[in-house]
Structure 1
Amino acid sequence: MSKQSMPLTSGWTLHLAGGEAPEGLEGLRGGGVPARVPGCCHGDLLDAGVIEDPYVGRNELDVAWVGRADWRYDTVLPAGPAGFERTDLVFEGLDTVASVTLGGAVLGTTRNMHRAYRFDITGRAREGTPLSVRFTSAYTEAEGLRDTLGPRPNAYPEPFNFIRKMACAFGWDWGPTLVTAGMWRPVRLECWNTARLAQVRPLVTVTGGAGRVEAHLVLERTAAGEDRELRATVEVGGRTAAVTIPAGASTAVAALEVPDPELWWPRGYGDQPLHRCRVVLADPGTDAVLDEWERGIGFRTVELDQSKDGHGTAFTLVVNGTPVFARGVNWIPDDALPSRVTPARYRHRLTQAADAGVNLVRVWGGGVYEDRAFYETCDELGLLVWQDFLFACAAYPEEQPLRGEIEAEARENVVRLMPHPSLALWNGNNENLWGFKDWGWDEELAGDSWGEGYYLGLLPRVVAELDPTRPYSAGSPWSGSWRHHPNDPAHGPSHFWEAWNRRDHSDYLNDVPRFAAEFGWQAPPAYATLREALPGEELSPTSPGMLHHQKAEDGQGKLDRGLAHHFDAPATFDDWHYLTQLNQARAIATGVAHWRSHWPVCAGTVVWQLNDCWPVTSWAAVDGAGRRKPLYHELRRLYADRLLTLQTRDGAPALAVDNQSDERWEGRAHVRRMLADGTVLAEEHVPFAAAPRSVAVLPLRAEVAGITDRHKEFLVADAGDLRDVVLGCPDREFSYPAAELEVEVRPAPDGCAVAVTARSFVRDLLLQADRLDPAAEADQGRMTLLPGETRTITVRGADLTDLDETRVRAALFSVNGARP
């Protein structure tokens, strides 16, 4: 092939190029330290032992100077291949304000983390030539532009809205302030002849059962290649189409049809067949292959139903003509130092999501457009991707130079991501339309630009031009027009934060939204994660390290007020830790089960959030060390195809039989009104039948549903291995018996099995496996046992050969005190 790439990953050093360094570190201006590429300055300084791990203790504060400094990366070019007309220096990602110098001459400057850069260095790519990339502090750029354009409202005190950089690098209510710099994506030399494929944009459609691929190509030519007639060939599914590109032309379109292709479906709706799409650029005069491009594509249609009806304005994703209930999670960058997120880590985290029943992942607008590996994994797992453009919680100036950067960024990333069948929706921003309406921005802005022109003008035009096969929504939340409040639950996607911030999770029951795109409840990470992040600290909810690893405004106060609605004040840190994690799981269960039961009026729930970027008390289901919190296991129950819950209709308890599978679900549910000692006061066997993708809500007999003594009675509904339990009052008012358990530990493949038998009513029993060993994981979350019932919990991931009953009991928790 007339093209060759050479990665530039070794031989780099990092130097302090400007700004102040702590005493004793001035030597960084000279000798520097070895550097990783891809990487960032924080990672290199950490590897060299210059700084302590910012994720441990309060070290984050001690490394704040790193983000205020300027940094320079130096290397020399290796010997490159000979015989090529053109040599390019390619940076897939520079974070963020950079000047690139080769042999002392400036090649160019950059100011956008979310773009790739290419410099022609033909004739200058000689072995041993010095190459330097100098990064100016993102603070310098952002604060300077803020001074020039004037301030804009912002949910946080940092100036992230004045620079095209990962916003959450400046800190968020779940993330540290680590303002990175560096080559965060790969760097390479690329040598080529005649022409290369500068852009490939395959429009994939399905009409009348036939698939069509329309490949829009953009070429770049060398001077010698300008007068060459070229040929481009597109291959998909055994079909081939070729197009001749006249001399001097830089664009072409090649189209082909694939009859009756297997369709790509979201997880739970069908399979995910991927078809290899290969584009070959060749010189017909010499038969030389000049360039190739290859991706896995999927044939499917995706639409956004926003029709008006008696409930308001719908917001339903429709794939291959089938309305989909979105069982979603919000995704943030998986590491505060994003260059550390590998393809294997993407696969592990997204597999965790898929295993929990998730079928949609929303890439939130304060992070990054993720790596190709992220989207390819979603393609394979059937995870729909809702992709935000990168705007979050702030007013963004529409003046230059930001406007030009934003258009270039949008165009590049739409083209980069649109081949992926998992990508289902482009979204203009996170909470900015809502912010303008409700957060006092209008008055503060006094007519200054704030981003509306991006969300309602520029971005929809870019999507319509480059990716017309997918829907675009202006924001989340957004009601579809200014005729309605931006966060009106009856119109479009809504965010629900009043419950967490000011009320109780029972507040979720007051609305039936068309689409719940954000809602969440905090909890601390796993106990082992806290011990690793806060070594030696005596843990308490208000210990210094715990407070530092809690970034939400009054976060610990909100946790405690949330507990107070349901529980007495915990006596110990261990009880507080268990109850806050339990309350998080219960809160999400309240919202998801209620909203799911109102399908198809409510067409989706997207929990805030799946993952964390460091060890922190947050809304995540998987903590910063990758450990699954009880919420994760609860999601697995809530997002299963079949869900059985006790709901309220017309003021009375009812049984919701929610069937999101493609098969009819029939059976009999056993519903009992009971006392805590196991006495059954009333019961009925309720026959049910739920069609595929439907919900059956069934009334209960009054004598079963009507709790008479709210402090002693509860309802339990069972169908197969599904169960829901509802008390007649808050836990703190319920007359719980002491928890009595029998525990048996026996070996199991790759771990052990813990059989727990209840001799009394045991509410929300939880085994915190990481207390047995930091590497241990339990296969189940919270469970409620009736007297005489036995459940077996399997624990894997660690050497547990010496595990005994005493150790297990110390890791068992329940509302009514299962520990000795």
Structure 2
Amino acid sequence: MNKTILFAFLLIQNIISAQLAEHSLSGEKWQFKNAKDNNWLSAKVPGTVHLDLMDHNIIPDPFKDENEKKVQWVENEDWDYQTSFTVSSKQLSESQNIDLIFNGLDTFSEIYLNGKLLKKTDNMFRKWVIPVKEHLKSGENILLVQFKSAVSTGKELAKKVLFTMPESPRSFVRKAQYHFGWDWGPRLVTAGIWKDVKLEFWNNAKLENVKVGQKNLTKDKADLAIQAEIITEKEGKYTVSINNKPFNFQLKKGKNAIQIPYAIINPKLWQPNGWGKQELYPIRVSLQKGSIHIADKDFNIGLRTVELIQEKDSKGKSFYFKVNGNPLYIKGTNWIPGDSFSPRMTKEKYQHLIKQAKEANMNMIRVWGGGIYEDDEFYKACDENGILVWQDFMFAGSFYPSDEHFLNNVKEEVEDQVNRLQNHPSIALWCGNNEVDEAIVNWGYQKQFNYSKEDSLQVWKDYRKVFHELIPNTLKENATADKNIYWPSSPSIGWGHQESLTEGDSHYWGVWWGEQPFEIYNEKVGRFMSEYGFQGMPTLETTKTMFSGNPDLSLQNPTIKAHEKHSRGWQIIDEYIKRDYIFPADFVKYNYVSQLVQARGMQIAIEAHRRAKPYNMGTLYWQLNDCWPVVSWSSIDYLGNWKALHYQVKRSFEQQVILTEEKEGNLNFYAINDELKKFNNISLSIQVAKFNGEIINQIHISPAEKELNDILKLNSVEIKKLIGDSDKSKIFLKLSLQDQHGNVIAQNSYYFSKPKDLKLSQPNIRINKISPMEIEISTDVLAKDVYLIGDVHFSDNFFDLLPQTSKRIQLSKPLEKIEVLSLWDTMN
């Protein structure tokens, strides 16, 4: 290569590299301080002020002991963050545009660059892009972000409303609502640069808001429309390539909206978990001007159709999702943020939690409206694991204003998040809020705060402006038609109203809040159950992390008490335990039984919902995860350990199940199939067994219909004829559903008595180590609710080990010693 060619090559490379370059400021040496102080301390970005204060031992870890109380002063202070960074004269001279981009600021801040105020921010959920070239200088630059107290600022905003708003000041603050405390989470009102920050240098043009609309989808072809915004410095000819296929455009100076048809031949569908593979197609959108390469956008798409079907029928109105043309029975859960300090959430933790949802046979997660719009990794994990996402916008359980500034702020928030998330095939539905309609109609705030008629009308007017006008209109403007299913509020009707069970989605809290027995779940079945739940303790391993020193595992310990955020939580758990179990004598057994009672309640609920298919077409229990070590409704605790509930959910959410309903002296059996394939010529084997394994009766039932597609109610059996004079507290049923070839489709057990009334014998449970990572457990008589104790994940736990049987269990890591409990141990 001669010198002339080499010089030209280097010049072109320099031009290409100058089109779009980034300089991450997150890795610079950040400092922070209380606005009242002069002493700067080192800080981490992304991060929060609490984490920085903990790093310097200024505050204790609020997750431990009773430390939450000791850190409340932090929320009332203002905090400053500062860094310096270098920009070269070459970067300044060769870059037509330089943008300062904050992907997340929490929440009220003023941004200064070299002493110049650039922007005031007031929304944790927005992306802030600030042109800064004219404010930069060659050499060192000083970036200062001053955060105002969200609590103090929220209180000032609240004063502008003539009547008292519930949950003030959080209603006025566009930040994660759970930061202000919830009945499962601590009050930790954070501040800080909670997402990454960078400088972006660009020339000629900028490629933004690339989205893929699905126009038509058949077996032969997927017709797509790829849309993008291109901001140009000057008009001219530009080339946009889709996976290296070029399309030419004459663009004007400024913002241009383009649309390109694109087809995929013989497309493979993205299927929800349980229905097939999650086929993903890579899309690369590239922008060029002549020979100059400007920018690329890379992402994956999935080809699928999702419809929300609401049709009037004799009992009300249906509410179900049709995916790829087939009705999908929704099995899943509700998601809260995985940490009170969101920057601590790692990609690995997101992937772990979503994979655990998949392993428990789920196909949907509802992202609850009091948290955050989650990190891209969350939605990526859902895409890869076949988990559909019900995405709430971030409003929860309060009234919200609708002044012009608030509406504009929310509109920008919705635009940012919809544009960021909509290409994910997992996104199934956008929901305006969590329980805001419910709060206005049913929670009595108007009476509590002595509202006038005009005040009450204003609240409803504000509600409609935000959730029935602004958000759906903004969604329509920004989302492609196939990603624009909107539902104004979850639930649509409160659980005290009969209509909540005949249409829309339902949050049923008669159990727990209403303290009704678990059996009420058999009666209170709606069209789509999007919230219901019951609390249980976290695992022993996680409970121990509540302490900074040696754990004192006692229910009277103030630390244990402090990690239950519901005001009557302990009393409610105790009451339900007494109803169904022998009250435990010590802490370890209490921990165990509290998990059993939680799992039992949710099993009754889930099975009632599934038996009601297709009247009911969805069940999302509250909740999957925790944001700190706590007694809560979660099925997976803060450290990622499965509680008894998650093991039970995995069993209850199997694709094929055989379920039992006891009614008016009869047993009704339901064979349920959620797969796309059908089963033919099934039969049910019922064995009546004593706890020592002796079979005292056995019958077979073959249904009248040969084809099992969705749900089949088998012939009823009279209990008296089945069990005779047997003592119900000493027997159980072994159920086995088989196909025409004798293959077992589903198995289950059924007990006639509550756990506390079972007359169990002491089991001789033996554990045989097969390998460092596998054990075999066996018993002579029924061992009910076998609990394997150890700091390891067991492939199964809290299971019934039937008499004279064994079971192999995988361990996530070798364990020297495994302790074991069963229900018998709590009775003696």
- TM-score of the pair, normalised by structure 2: 0.90
- Is the 8 Å Cα contact of residues 652 and 705 (structure 1) preserved in structure 2? no
Q: Which amino acid aligns with 2:64?
A: V
User: Can you list the C-alpha shifts for 1:526-564, whole angstroms capped at 9, x where unaligned?
Assistant: 001111212434323342111110011201111111112
Residue 512, structure 1, aligned to residue 525, structure 2:
yes
RMSD after superposition = 2.4
Structure 1 window deviating more from structure 2 (74-83 vs 128-137): it is: 74-83
Q: Which amino acid aligns with 1:759?
A: D
User: Can you list the C-alpha shifts for 1:754-788, whole angstroms capped at 9, x where unaligned?
Assistant: x3322223222221233xxxxx1211122223332
For 2:322 and 2:723, the matched residues in 1 are separated by 37
- Is the 8 Å Cα contact of residues 414 and 463 (structure 1) preserved in structure 2? yes
Question: Given the alignment, which residue of 144, 148, 166 partners 1:136?
Answer: 148
Match of 1:22 in 2: none
For 1:448 and 1:158, the matched residues in 2 are separated by 17
Match of 2:711 in 1: 695
For 1:265 and 1:431, the matched residues in 2 are separated by 30
Matches within 5 A, 1:590-605: 590-605=604-619
- Is the 8 Å Cα contact of residues 766 and 779 (structure 2) preserved in structure 1? no
Specify the SS of the correspondent of 2:807: strand
For 1:316 and 1:382, the matched residues in 2 are separated by 18
Matches within 5 A, 1:794-813: 794-797=810-813, 799-800=814-815, 802-803=816-817, 808=818, 811-813=819-821
For the structure 1 residues 59 and 430, does the alpha-carbon distance in structure 2 shift closer, same or farther, using more than 3 Å as the test?
Answer: same
For the structure 1 residues 304 and 273, does the alpha-carbon distance in structure 2 shift closer, same or farther, using more than 3 Å as the test?
Answer: same
Match of 2:99 in 1: 88
For the structure 1 residues 152 and 656, does the alpha-carbon distance in structure 2 shift closer, same or farther, using more than 3 Å as the test?
Answer: farther
- TM-score of the pair, normalised by structure 1: 0.91
- Is the 8 Å Cα contact of residues 303 and 317 (structure 1) preserved in structure 2? yes
- Is the 8 Å Cα contact of residues 691 and 760 (structure 2) preserved in structure 1? yes
Question: Given the alignment, which residue of 50, 54, 63 partners 1:46?
Answer: 54
- Is the 8 Å Cα contact of residues 664 and 690 (structure 1) preserved in structure 2? no
- Is the 8 Å Cα contact of residues 14 and 41 (structure 1) preserved in structure 2? no
Question: Given the alignment, which residue of 17, 21, 29 partners 1:4?
Answer: 21
Match of 1:15 in 2: 32
- Is the 8 Å Cα contact of residues 31 and 83 (structure 2) preserved in structure 1? no
Specify the SS of the correspondent of 1:401: helix
Match of 1:715 in 2: 733
Match of 1:787 in 2: 803
For 2:429 and 2:724, the matched residues in 1 are separated by 45
Match of 1:57 in 2: 65
Q: Which amino acid aligns with 1:201?
A: K
User: Can you list the C-alpha shifts for 1:414-456, whole angstroms capped at 9, x where unaligned?
Assistant: 1111111110101111111122221114554533335232222
Match of 2:3 in 1: none
Give ranges in structure 1 of 5+ residues lacking alignment: 20-28, 771-775
For 2:324 and 2:663, the matched residues in 1 are separated by 33
How far has the Cα of 1:106 moved from its partner?
0.4
Structure 1 window deviating more from structure 2 (129-138 vs 529-538): it is: 529-538
Q: Which amino acid aligns with 1:393?
A: G
Structure 1 window deviating more from structure 2 (687-696 vs 307-316): it is: 687-696
Aligned residues: 783
For the structure 1 residues 58 and 705, does the alpha-carbon distance in structure 2 shift closer, same or farther, using more than 3 Å as the test?
Answer: same
For the structure 1 residues 48 and 687, does the alpha-carbon distance in structure 2 shift closer, same or farther, using more than 3 Å as the test?
Answer: farther
Q: Which amino acid aligns with 2:780?
A: R
How far has the Cα of 1:569 moved from its partner?
1.9
User: Can you list the C-alpha shifts for 1:13-59, whole angstroms capped at 9, x where unaligned?
Assistant: 3433336xxxxxxxxx2332211111111111222222221111111
How far has the Cα of 1:818 moved from its partner?
7.9
Question: Given the alignment, which residue of 685, 689, 693 partners 2:700?
Answer: 685
For the structure 1 residues 587 and 530, does the alpha-carbon distance in structure 2 shift closer, same or farther, using more than 3 Å as the test?
Answer: same
How far has the Cα of 1:125 moved from its partner?
2.5
Q: Which amino acid aligns with 1:505?
A: F
Q: Which amino acid aligns with 2:39?
A: G
How far has the Cα of 1:248 moved from its partner?
4.9
Specify the SS of the correspondent of 1:498: coil
- Is the 8 Å Cα contact of residues 65 and 546 (structure 2) preserved in structure 1? yes
For 1:369 and 1:785, the matched residues in 2 are separated by 42
For 1:650 and 1:363, the matched residues in 2 are separated by 40
User: Can you list the C-alpha shifts for 1:736-761, whole angstroms capped at 9, x where unaligned?
Assistant: 33x22131331425x341x3322223
Specify the SS of the correspondent of 2:410: helix
Match of 1:23 in 2: none
Structure 1 window deviating more from structure 2 (675-684 vs 312-321): it is: 675-684
Match of 1:462 in 2: 474
Match of 1:26 in 2: none
Q: Which amino acid aligns with 2:584?
A: P
Matches within 5 A, 1:313-712: 313-443=317-447, 444=451, 445-449=455-459, 450-467=462-479, 468-469=481-482, 470-478=484-492, 488-501=500-513, 502-534=515-547, 535-648=549-662, 652-665=666-679, 667-687=682-702, 691=707, 693-702=709-718, 703-704=721-722, 709-712=727-730
For the structure 1 residues 819 and 570, does the alpha-carbon distance in structure 2 shift closer, same or farther, using more than 3 Å as the test?
Answer: closer
How far has the Cα of 1:566 moved from its partner?
0.5
- Is the 8 Å Cα contact of residues 679 and 709 (structure 2) preserved in structure 1? no
Give ranges in structure 2 of 5+ residues lacking alignment: 1-15, 738-743
How far has the Cα of 1:637 moved from its partner?
0.9
Residue 102, structure 1, aligned to residue 113, structure 2:
yes
For 2:332 and 2:388, the matched residues in 1 are separated by 9
For 2:210 and 2:823, the matched residues in 1 are separated by 57
Q: Which amino acid aligns with 1:680?
A: I
Match of 2:9 in 1: none
- Is the 8 Å Cα contact of residues 524 and 577 (structure 1) preserved in structure 2? yes
Residue 145, structure 1, aligned to residue 157, structure 2:
yes
Q: Which amino acid aligns with 1:794?
A: Q
Question: Given the alignment, which residue of 263, 267, 276 partners 2:282?
Answer: 276
For 2:330 and 2:30, the matched residues in 1 are separated by 46
User: Can you list the C-alpha shifts for 1:76-106, whole angstroms capped at 9, x where unaligned?
Assistant: 1223535111111100010100100011110
For 2:254 and 2:545, the matched residues in 1 are separated by 61
Specify the SS of the correspondent of 2:348: helix
- Is the 8 Å Cα contact of residues 662 and 692 (structure 1) preserved in structure 2? no
Residue 193, structure 1, aligned to residue 203, structure 2:
yes
Q: Which amino acid aligns with 1:664?
A: K
For 1:446 and 1:603, the matched residues in 2 are separated by 35
Q: Which amino acid aligns with 2:99?
A: D
How far has the Cα of 1:611 moved from its partner?
0.7
How far has the Cα of 1:525 moved from its partner?
0.5
For 1:573 and 1:368, the matched residues in 2 are separated by 35
Residue 763, structure 1, aligned to residue 784, structure 2:
yes
How far has the Cα of 1:695 moved from its partner?
1.5
Structure 1 window deviating more from structure 2 (452-461 vs 87-96): it is: 452-461
Q: Which amino acid aligns with 2:47?
A: G
For 1:187 and 1:693, the matched residues in 2 are separated by 52
Q: Which amino acid aligns with 1:235?
A: I
For 1:518 and 1:56, the matched residues in 2 are separated by 29
Q: Which amino acid aligns with 2:771?
A: A
Q: Which amino acid aligns with 2:62?
A: P
Match of 2:8 in 1: none
Specify the SS of the correspondent of 1:144: helix
User: Can you list the C-alpha shifts for 1:579-623, whole angstroms capped at 9, x where unaligned?
Assistant: 110111111111111211222211111111111110000011110
How far has the Cα of 1:122 moved from its partner?
0.7
Q: Which amino acid aligns with 1:457?
A: E
- Is the 8 Å Cα contact of residues 740 and 818 (structure 1) preserved in structure 2? no
Residue 264, structure 1, aligned to residue 270, structure 2:
yes
Q: Which amino acid aligns with 1:261?
A: P
Q: Kindly, what percent of the aligned residue pairs are identical?
A: 29
- Is the 8 Å Cα contact of residues 205 and 299 (structure 1) preserved in structure 2? no
